[in-house]
């Protein structure tokens, strides 16, 4: 990989940015990465400066254009990873705030789309990305220029013998918008994004990257009252009503029931610790291979009821929960003494966590092998969950985590779960309606990747949770918890 490093410097270079650039240069030398450098100094018209840098990149032999503004702090490894990702995604960037305590990038995300910023987050598609920390592949820039049919400006212009003529790839322009603004003025970086999107490219954000945008601020006595800046931690952003809203996304400690998964699998299947590590690593691959070998006349339900599928799923789900357990179980830590449905309970981890917090948990799971493993774990840890084939009524909480993408009738399943909730009951849910090659058993819906359209009868609380609307009973009040459980026992 050969990188063209482009920097725009209008006035001065910040010391923190300078230190980051030196670290980046040294790391590239250590990794034998060739870096060509292009800098435009003192040009007040940033769209022209960026266009000059991009045009110089197109005349170079580099594979990737990396643009970093002179007031951005970054980690060297993040800059290199962004360049590597550009070879796959073509246009990708890290997120930084505009300078100021209350500033936001209001057009970063599509409406109601959320992104979690943490170390293991994967690139996500967004509406626009900013050029202050962006990597673009040669293919991406060449095809964007070809599609845009921009004029070659200032032919013959040069600086110290170098050709500085350019194509105005970053020239701002206006676009119509479906939102209340009706028309948007695109600054130079989003203008490039719009041109690239019209050429068929997508814009990608890497939420695992954390950046600093360095500015100046006047300090007063009132700053003594300001809370100190939090330490870096996982953060979730979601676009709501034209503004980005930030939430804490607490990874938390892995629950003991997750930490014990490898030991549980070893004891249940009589494996050594080394064998457990191996089977957990290959669980997802085994599941994919079993699906590809499914007989044509076998229904999806019949496939998921197979013993070999259940055994493979135990190791596949264990590996996934070991990776995501802290994030997911942090969502349950305040749920205590509730009436809970775990729909598609898998190996029972979430059901057992909630049972350990005093909840009454009913599980729906079609695979007998996973049921037996869950019951064995429950007995080992002194907990109790109940498997049901018919949903109760009046649940306080329902879990439907990575289930709907496996069923042929997801809307029907979602409606059954919603109907079983009490008024203002909540659903914890996420789906993955994609197939990246590793999950051929997933149904695919490109415009509904997380399955959100199936829950629109409820109110979206955040990226994980939906709330059933309130309703009034015949006596003017909601049924009590005792009444909900009586109805559940009666099968009403």
Is the predicted pLDDT of residue 249 greater than 60, yes or no? no
Q: Lowest mean pLDDT of 304-318, 349-363, 476-490, name the range.
A: 476-490
| Parts of the chain belonging to CATH 3.90.550.40 | 2-222+232-248
pLDDT, one tens digit per residue, over 321-378 is: 887 767 777 788 889 999 999 999 999 999 999 999 999 999 999 999 999 999 999 9
Is the predicted pLDDT of residue 218 greater than 60, yes or no? yes
Q: Lowest mean pLDDT of 49-58, 81-90, 150-159, name the range.
A: 150-159
Tell me which CATH code domain 256-490 carries.
3.40.50.150
Q: Hey, CA dihedral for 22, 24, 29, 35, is it positive or negative?
A: negative
Using alpha carbons only, what angle is made at residue 177 by residues 99 and 130, rounded to the nearest 5 degrees?
30
Enter the tokens of residue 268: 């249940």
From 170, 156, 148, select the one nearest 57 (Cα to Cα): 170
Q: What is the pLDDT of residue 400?
A: 96
pLDDT, one tens digit per residue, over 97-112 is: 776 544 454 345 665 6
CATH architecture of 2-222+232-248: Alpha-Beta Complex (3.90)
Q: Backbone phi, then psi, for 305, in 5-degree steps?
A: -90, -10
Which residues, 6 or more positions from 45, have their beta carbon under 8 angstroms from its beta carbon?
Answer: none
Q: Which residue has the higher pLDDT, 427 or 181?
A: 427
Under 8 Å between Cβ of 366 and 403: no
From 438, 445, 465, 451, select the one nearest 319 (Cα to Cα): 438
From 108, 110, 112, select the one nearest 95 (Cα to Cα): 108
What is the arithmetic mean of pLDDT over 215-226?
67
Q: What is the pLDDT of residue 484?
A: 53
Q: What is the pLDDT of residue 71?
A: 86
What is the arithmetic mean of pLDDT over 448-472?
87
From 474, 455, 473, select the one nearest 465 (Cα to Cα): 455
Q: What is the pLDDT of residue 210?
A: 87
Q: What is the pLDDT of residue 477?
A: 43
In this structure, the strands spanning 203-205 and 91-93 are parallel
Which band of pLDDT confidence, cut at 50, 70 and 90, is reported for residue 66?
A: very high
| Parts of the chain belonging to CATH 3.40.50.150 | 256-490
As a whole number of angstroms, the distance between CA 316 and CA 344 comes to 15
As a whole number of angstroms, the distance between CA 343 and CA 351 comes to 10
pTM for the whole thing? 0.54
Which band of pLDDT confidence, cut at 50, 70 and 90, is reported for residue 473?
A: very low
């Amino acid at each position: 990989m050969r990188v063209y490093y482009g920097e725009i410097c209008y006035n001065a270079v910040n010391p923190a940015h300078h230190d980051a650039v030196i670290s980046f240069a040294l790391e590239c030398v250590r990794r034998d990465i060739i870096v060509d450098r292009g800098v435009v100094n003192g040009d007040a018209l940033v769209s022209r400066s960026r266009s000059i840098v991009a045009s110089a990149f197109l005349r170079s032999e580099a594979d990737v254009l990396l643009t970093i503004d002179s007031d951005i702090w970054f980690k060297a490894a993040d800059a290199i990873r962004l360049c590597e990702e550009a070879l796959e995604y073509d246009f990708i960037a890290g997120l930084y705030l505009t300078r100021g305590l209350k500033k936001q990038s209001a057009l970063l995300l599509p409406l109601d789309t959320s992104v979690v910023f943490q170390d293991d987050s994967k690139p996500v598609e967004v509406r626009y990305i900013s050029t202050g920390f962006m990597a673009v592949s040669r293919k991406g820039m060449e095809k964007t220029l070809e599609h845009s049919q921009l004029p070659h400006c200032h032919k013959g212009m040069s600086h110290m013998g170098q050709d500085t003529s350019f194509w105005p790839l970053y020239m701002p322009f206006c676009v119509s918008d479906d939102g209340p603004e009706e028309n948007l003025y695109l600054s130079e970086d989003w203008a490039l994004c719009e041109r690239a999107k019209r050429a068929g490219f997508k814009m990608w954000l890497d939420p695992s990257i954390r950046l600093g945008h360095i500015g100046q601020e006047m300090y007063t006595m009132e700053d003594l009252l300001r809370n100190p800046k939090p330490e870096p931690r996982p953060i979730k952003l979601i676009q709501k009503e034209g503004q980005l809203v930030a939430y804490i996304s607490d990874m938390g400690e892995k629950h003991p029931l997750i930490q014990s998964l490898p030991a549980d699998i070893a004891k249940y299947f009589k494996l050594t610790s080394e064998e457990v590590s191996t089977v957990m690593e290959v669980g997802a691959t085994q599941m994919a291979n079993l699906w590809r070998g499914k007989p044509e006349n076998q229904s999806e339900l019949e496939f998921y009821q197979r013993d070999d599928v259940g055994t493979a799923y135990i190791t596949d789900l264990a590996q996934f929960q070991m990776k995501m357990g802290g994030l997911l179980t942090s969502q349950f830590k305040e749920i205590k003494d509730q009436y809970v449905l775990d729909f598609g309970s898998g190996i029972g981890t979430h059901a057992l966590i909630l049972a350990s917090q005093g909840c009454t948990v009913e599980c729906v799971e079609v695979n007998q092998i996973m049921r037996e493993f869950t019951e064995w774990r429950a007995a080992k840890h002194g907990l109790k969950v109940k498997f049901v084939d018919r949903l109760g009524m009046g649940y306080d909480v329902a879990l439907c985590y990575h289930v709907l993408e496996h069923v042929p009738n997801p809307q029907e399943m979602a409606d059954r779960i919603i109907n079983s909730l009490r008024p203002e009951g909540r659903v914890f849910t996420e789906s993955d309606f994609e197939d990246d090659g590793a999950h051929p058993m997933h149904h695919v819906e490109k415009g509904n990747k997380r399955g959100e359209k199936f829950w629109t009868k409820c109110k979206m609380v955040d990226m994980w949770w939906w709330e059933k609307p309130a309703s009034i009973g015949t006596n003017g009040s909601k049924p009590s918890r005792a009444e909900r459980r009586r109805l559940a026992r009666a099968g009403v």
